């Protein structure tokens, strides 16, 4: 297996690393403390092509690949996990399904400006009473005589929701034999009847605003249907396969930041007359952290490489997301332990990584859902 990067991938990696170091990292602590939306960083990501990395340039994207996306996501998330997930949602959960399933109108008028960073997208699947079980969804769409739809319902925990110009919404549009059939719609924030609630107060990723969105008799023109009528579940699952690569990459960045701070601190901090890096207990923790980080990165790059080749990657994406997210929490936990009492304060930033890591085990499919996906692939006939 050739793990070397192409010239384009190497250039993107360096661009992302420079941007993260110079513009993102210096603001990370302030963003975490204040919870303000990083509008200036979102704008710069658009300028740099980071909001549509794997979308062809004909539709406003950078024309690169999923591996490039992973590389950039890790760098930006290592600097600020909030900024990283804003980027992830726009790329994985909005631009990618529009490119895969959108008609020419959606690709030209919605995808192109969003991939350029001129507008922002979000993804509405989860509801107050419907998380992992999409069959319990309450949002409905009713077809009208002219082919348009009327959508009623709500979605919650919608990352980018308070600021997004468009949302992909999944609604039940029919039932066959008692089983719900879903359809995906693209709704602009200007649509009458579409409103957003206040942004959620969360444990971590404070600057990545999420909210509940409401749809009251929202009329959706037929050209704003994403994919085929009744095929929304297919759109959602295919989108999440790619989205899990993005969250695995976010987890990688968080874990790497916690690990690198731990190595630096272990070399500087002294106890019993020598740097704590010379104590075997610390060495063992650092060794475990480095090994888990590398394993998570390899799983994530494998999933991205399979996506680039057009291969089915549901299980591989689930494995990457499961392992990277849980490893990020373990690595951040060890980082606090290595820092001792200082790790529990905000001075060194590792407590932020610990809080930010925890969400990666929950959104875009909990760890339990990832295990279900993996098992289903392992045991299918």
Could you tell me if 137 and 216 lie in one domain? yes
Render pLDDT for 138-159 as a digit per residue (tens, 0 to 9): 999 999 999 999 999 999 999 9
Interior/surface letters 347-360, b for 16+ CB within 10 angstroms, e for the rest: ebbbbbbbbbbbbb
Q: What percent of the chain has pLDDT over 90?
A: 95
User: Residue holding tokens 């008609």?
Assistant: 103
pLDDT at residue 29, as a whole number = 97
Model confidence at 167: pLDDT above 80 = yes
Could you tell me if 276 and 339 lie in one domain? yes
In angstroms, the CA 15 to CA 239 distance is 27
365 part of a folded domain: yes
2 part of a folded domain: no
pLDDT at residue 282, as a whole number = 97
Across 32-57, average pLDDT? 98
The active-site residue, picked from 118, 326, 364, 368, is 364
Could you tell me if 23 and 144 lie in one domain? no
Domain boundary among 99, 119, 139: 119
Q: What percent of the chain has pLDDT over 70?
A: 99
Could you tell me if 371 and 275 lie in one domain? yes
pLDDT at residue 176, as a whole number = 81
Across 268-281, average pLDDT? 96
Across 332-359, average pLDDT? 97
Domain boundary among 210, 233, 256: 233
Across 263-282, average pLDDT? 96
58 part of a folded domain: yes
Render pLDDT for 174-188 as a digit per residue (tens, 0 to 9): 988 778 899 999 999
pLDDT at residue 136, as a whole number = 83
In angstroms, the CA 342 to CA 378 distance is 44
Report the CATH number that the domain containing residue 371 is assigned in CATH: 1.20.140.10
In angstroms, the CA 225 to CA 232 distance is 10
Report the CATH number that the domain containing residue 225 is assigned in CATH: 2.40.110.10
Domain boundary among 212, 233, 254: 233
189 part of a folded domain: yes
Could you tell me if 97 and 132 lie in one domain? no
Render pLDDT for 106-125 as a digit per residue (tens, 0 to 9): 999 999 999 999 999 999 99
CB-CB contact of 165 with 114 (8 Å)? yes
CB-CB contact of 223 with 106 (8 Å)? yes
- Burial of 290 (C-beta count, 10 Å sphere; 0-12/13-18/19+): middle
1 part of a folded domain: no
Give how many domains the chain has, as a whole number.
3
**Virtual torsion, Cα 60, 62, 63, 66, nearest 10 deg:** -120
375 part of a folded domain: yes
185 part of a folded domain: yes
Predicted confidence band of residue 135 (pLDDT cuts 50, 70, 90):
confident
Could you tell me if 208 and 257 lie in one domain? no
CB-CB contact of 238 with 300 (8 Å)? no
Across 160-187, average pLDDT? 94
Predicted confidence band of residue 133 (pLDDT cuts 50, 70, 90):
confident
Strands 270-271 and 179-188: unpaired
Could you tell me if 39 and 59 lie in one domain? yes
- Catalytic, 361? Answer no
Model confidence at 232: pLDDT above 80 = yes
In angstroms, the CA 158 to CA 88 distance is 13
In angstroms, the CA 91 to CA 348 distance is 31
Could you tell me if 55 and 22 lie in one domain? yes
Task: Specify the range with the lowest mean pLDDT, choosing from 170-184, 276-290, 296-310.
Answer: 170-184
User: Residue holding tokens 């609630």?
Assistant: 197
Q: How many CB atoms lie within 10 A of CB 299?
A: 22
208: DSSP letter = S
pLDDT at residue 381, as a whole number = 59
Model confidence at 14: pLDDT above 80 = yes
Find the helix or strand (DSSP H, E) in which 194 lies: strand 194-196
200 part of a folded domain: yes
Could you tell me if 183 and 162 lie in one domain? yes
User: In the predicted model, what is the mean pLDDT of the chain?
Assistant: 96
pLDDT at residue 132, as a whole number = 78
Give the three-class secondary structure for 59.
helix
Range of the domain at 373: 238-379
CA neighbor of 185 nearest in space, from 213, 216, 225, 141: 225
Could you tell me if 87 and 150 lie in one domain? no
Across 270-297, average pLDDT? 97
CB-CB contact of 62 with 90 (8 Å)? no
Could you tell me if 191 and 169 lie in one domain? yes
pLDDT at residue 175, as a whole number = 87
pLDDT at residue 87, as a whole number = 98
Across 281-294, average pLDDT? 98
Could you tell me if 55 and 111 lie in one domain? yes
Phi-psi sector, 361: left (phi>0), alpha (psi -120 to 50), beta: alpha
Which residues, 6 or more positions from 168, have their beta carbon under 8 angstroms from its beta carbon?
93, 94, 97, 98, 121, 122, 123, 124, 184, 185, 186, 226, 239
């Amino acid at each position: 297996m050739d793990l070397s990067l192409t010239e384009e991938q190497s250039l993107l990696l360096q661009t992302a690393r420079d941007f993260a170091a110079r513009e993102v990292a210096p603001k990370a602590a302030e963003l975490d403390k204040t919870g303000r939306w990083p509008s200036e960083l979102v704008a710069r990501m658009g300028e740099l092509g980071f909001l549509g990395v794997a979308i062809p340039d004909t539709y406003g994207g950078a024309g690169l690949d999923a591996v490039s996306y992973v590389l950039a996501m890790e760098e930006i998330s290592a600097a600020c996990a909030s900024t990283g997930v804003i980027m992830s949602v726009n790329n994985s959960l909005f631009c990618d399904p529009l490119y895969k399933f959108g008609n020419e109108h959606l690709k030209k008028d919605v995808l192109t400006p969003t991939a350029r960073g001129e507008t922002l997208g979000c993804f509405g699947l989860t509801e107050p009473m419907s998380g992992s079980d999409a069959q319990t969804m309450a949002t409905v769409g009713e077809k009208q005589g002219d082919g348009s739809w009327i959508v009623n319902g709500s979605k919650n925990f919608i990352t980018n929701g308070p600021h997004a110009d468009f949302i992909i919404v999944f609604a039940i549009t029919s039932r066959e034999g008692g089983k719900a059939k879903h359809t995906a719609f693209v709704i602009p924030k200007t649509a009458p009847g579409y409103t957003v609630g206040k942004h959620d107060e969360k444990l971590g990723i404070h600057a990545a605003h999420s909210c509940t969105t409401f749809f009251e008799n929202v009329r959706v023109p037929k050209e704003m249907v994403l994919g085929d009528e009744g095929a929304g579940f297919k759109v959602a699952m295919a989108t999440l396969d790619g989205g899990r690569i993005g969250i695995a990459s976010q987890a990688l960045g968080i874990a790497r930041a916690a690990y690198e701070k731990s190595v630096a601190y272990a070399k500087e901090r002294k106890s019993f007359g020598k740097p704590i890096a010379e104590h075997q207990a610390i060495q063992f923790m650092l060794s475990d952290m480095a090994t888990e980080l590398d394993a998570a990165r390899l799983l994530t790059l494998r999933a991205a490489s399979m996506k680039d080749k057009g291969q089915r990657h549901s299980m591989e994406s689930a494995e990457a997301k499961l392992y990277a997210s849980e490893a990020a929490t373990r690595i951040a936990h060890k980082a606090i332990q290595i820092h001792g009492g200082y790790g529990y304060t905000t001075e060194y930033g590792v407590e932020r990584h610990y809080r930010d890591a925890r969400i990666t085990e929950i959104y875009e499919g909990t760890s339990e859902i990832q295990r279900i996906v993996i098992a289903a692939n392992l045991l299918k006939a």
